[in-house]
Each structure stands twice: as structure tokens, then as C-alpha cells.
Chain A
Amino acid sequence: MAQLAGSKTSEHREHAIEQFIGNLLRVCVIATVVIVVVGGILFLPSILWTAPSYSKFVGEPAAFRSVAGILGQALTGDGRAIVQTGMLLLVLTPILRVAFSVFAFLYEKDYLYVVLTLVVLGLLMFSLLAG
């Protein structure tokens, strides 16, 4: 009986951690929307009447292809780079969730899943920083 009660508390805690992570993700998405709208307001008016060209692929400029490049450009107040910062935050959101899951499994002393989660985190960081 005592064991059953113990497992219920741990399940409850597990759920609380998951709930925290779920809310964190929602906050990230809301922050992204705010950043994207602010960036859009800064740069859209100046180009409203120009024609976009996406029919031929040329790729983004180098500054918009890396974490350091995007943040550096955004700090200069460039609206387009601020929008791209929002996109970067979206890519970071699931990575944050995985990072927090490492702590959740550590807290539960479930070391097998700490290792498995670190593998996923490593793959994601590889993609974002070196991909």
C-alpha cells in the first residue's frame, strides 16, 4: 500500500514536470509570434510595393543561415533579421523541451532515459550548430 502511494506521488511529480514543459513550449510560441510581428512591422512597410521573387532558389544570405549571424544582424535593428530570430526561437523550442526532459529523467533517477535523451539532444544540437 505504501509503495502504491509512493508511485502515485512520483507519477504526480512526473506529470507536474511535463505540465511545466508544456507551458514553456506555449510561452515560446507566443514569444515567437510577438517577435515575428515586431520584426514584420519594422521592415514590411518599406517593401510593400516591391515584387517578391521565390520562383528561383538562390538561398538566404550568409547572415541568415547561422545562429550567430541571425542574432548579430537582429541586434542592429534589422526587421528581417528580427523575424528570422523568431524562426530560430521556434527551432529552439523543441530542443528546449528535450533539454528539460534530461532534468526530468535525472530527477527520477532514470539514468537509461537520461542517456537516451542526451543522444536526442546531441543530434539536435549537431543539426542546429553544424548541420
Chain B
Amino acid sequence: MHLTIIQFTGFLFAGALAAGFLGALTGLGGGVVIVPLLTIVFGVDIRYAIGASLITVIATSSGAASAYVREGYSNIRIGMLLEIATTIGALVGAYLGGILSPSFIAIIFGLVLVYSAYLSSRPRAEHAPAHTSDSLALRLKLPSSYPVKGEMVDYGVHNVPAGFGLMGLAGVLSGLLGIGSGAVKVLAMDHAMKLPFKVSTTTSNFMIGVTAAASAGVYLHRGYIDPLLAMPVVLGVLAGSLTGAKVLGRSSPKLLRIVFSIVIFVLAIEMIYNGATGRI
């Protein structure tokens, strides 16, 4: 398929628009499908794809930040502490990205996608927020409060070292694959640290941009970030996710979520197959 720049940029913008729209509508994020879209559909080398995807992740995370702050759910101390783990992880991931073969990276990408599709197909159980805290969490001043129906409710924090370790892993995946790895971040805060659902989701979004910026610097120096390729992707995903967030309101479209999970699953299998057969 030989496309001219005008066709290539136009199709790419349309694809990114759809990804951003579906990502916002389903709450799965559009960033995770950018790399498969670029490599499988447009035949772009996975290194350029990772560069464009990282930039897109930063754009959507920063664009949504002010809305999350206004709601008053995110915990900046937890975010900042865990960012030490995610930025170190992201630098390690970016380093690994320079020495591992593209085929191997594609296979890991596919496996992470399968896991994300699996996670998103299951409803997240809201557990009762913890009222006690570990001594380490208290010393780090992590426990805080968040609004529930207009009233501030206190919550406790647990297992800081386990959360920190999982965040390091989230950082490595983010740096290696050019994704936000929001799924792993939420897992670390939900399950390990026992944070309330809304606090972990918004704090995760707070951290995604910073984590992505840590590896984006390395990739910029390595020449992975191409302006012509990144332009339609960033603009498309931003426009798509803003529109998606407006349409969304308060409903959660279940069918769409299932459809998008299936799309992610198919792309994942394709990534693994292409990686295993050496086409990526």
C-alpha cells in the first residue's frame, strides 16, 4: 500500500480520532491501541510507533488533569512518592527498549494488551476504604480524605513497599512499550495499597504524564519521535478523547466496552503473531 502524505496523515488522524473517542467513552484510554494501529494497520516501524504513542499519552493525561484536580480525588503525596518508582522504571524501560529486538517488544506488547483486555472485561469491585494505615504510610503522611456525596471521608493507606514495587513495574512497561500502563497503576493502588476506587483512578492519571515524560526524553534523543507522524496522532487522540468525555456524561456504555475489549484482544493476538513470525 503506497500512500501519499495527504492520505497517510488523513487516515492516521481518523484512526487516532476513533481510538481517542472509544478510549474515553469506555474508560480504557486510547493510548493502548496507538502502537498496534500504527504497526499493524499502517506498517510503521514499532520504534516510531512507540515514540508517537508516548507523546499522545502525555497529551491526554495533561489535558484531563485540571478536571481531575477540580473533583478533589487525587492524592498528590501518594502520586509524588510513587512517581519516584515509575520514573526510575520508565528510564529502565526506555533503556531496555534500546537493546531488545523489536519482535520481542511486540510480543510483550501483545501480552500486556491481552491482560488489559481481560482486566477491562471484568467489573472492578469497590472494596470498603481502609480506615487504618501502616506505620510507614503514616510517617510518609499518605492517608488523606476524599469527597463522598459532598462530605469528606478519611481513608487509610497500606502496603507502601508493595505498591512502590508494582509502580516500578508499571514504569518499566510504560517506558518499554510507550503506553500509560494505567491498568497496572490502578492495580497497585487498588489491591496493594487499598485506596478507594476514585482516588486510585485519578492519582493514576496524575502520574501517567510524568511517567511518560521520563521515557519520552530518552526516546527523543534516540530519534524515535517524528513530528510528521506524531502530529496527526496527537491531534486525533486529543480531539477524540475530548469529544468522548463530553458524550459520556454519567452513563457507562457496557456494550461499547465489550466491543472495544474485543478489538484490543484481536490487536493483541496480531501483535504477538507478527512478533513471533518476525514481521515486526
Contacts and interface: CB of A to CB of B under 8 A. Distances in A.
B44 A54 contact: yes
B62 A91 contact: no
Given A54-B48, A57-B48, A83-B227, A113 B65 contact: no
**Interface size band for B:** 35 or more
A131 B3 contact: no
Most chain B CB within 10 A, of A65, A87, A116, is at A87
Nearest to A28: B62
Interface in A1-27: 14-15, 18-19, 21-23, 25-26
A109 to B, nearest CB: 12
Contacts of B210: 94-95, 97-98, 120, 124
B227 A39 contact: yes
B220 A90 contact: no
Interface residues of A, number: 65
Give chain A's interface secondary structure class: helix
A65 to B, nearest CB: 5
Nearest to B6: A48
Contact of B58 (A26, A61, A91): A91
B245 interface: no
B88 interface: yes
A47 B214 contact: no
Contacts of A55: 43-45
Contacts of A21: 65, 69
A80 B227 CA distance: 6
A54 B225 CA distance: 12
Given A54-B229, A90-B234, A95 B213 contact: yes
Name the 8 nearest CB pairs between A and B, nearest first: A59-B223, A22-B66, A127-B217, A131-B218, A22-B69, A128-B217, A60-B223, A83-B227
Interface of A: 14-15, 18-19, 21-23, 25-26, 28-29, 32-33, 36-37, 39-40, 44, 47-52, 54-57, 59-61, 64-66, 80-81, 83-84, 86-88, 90-95, 97-98, 101, 104, 110, 112-113, 116-117, 119-120, 123-124, 126-129, 131
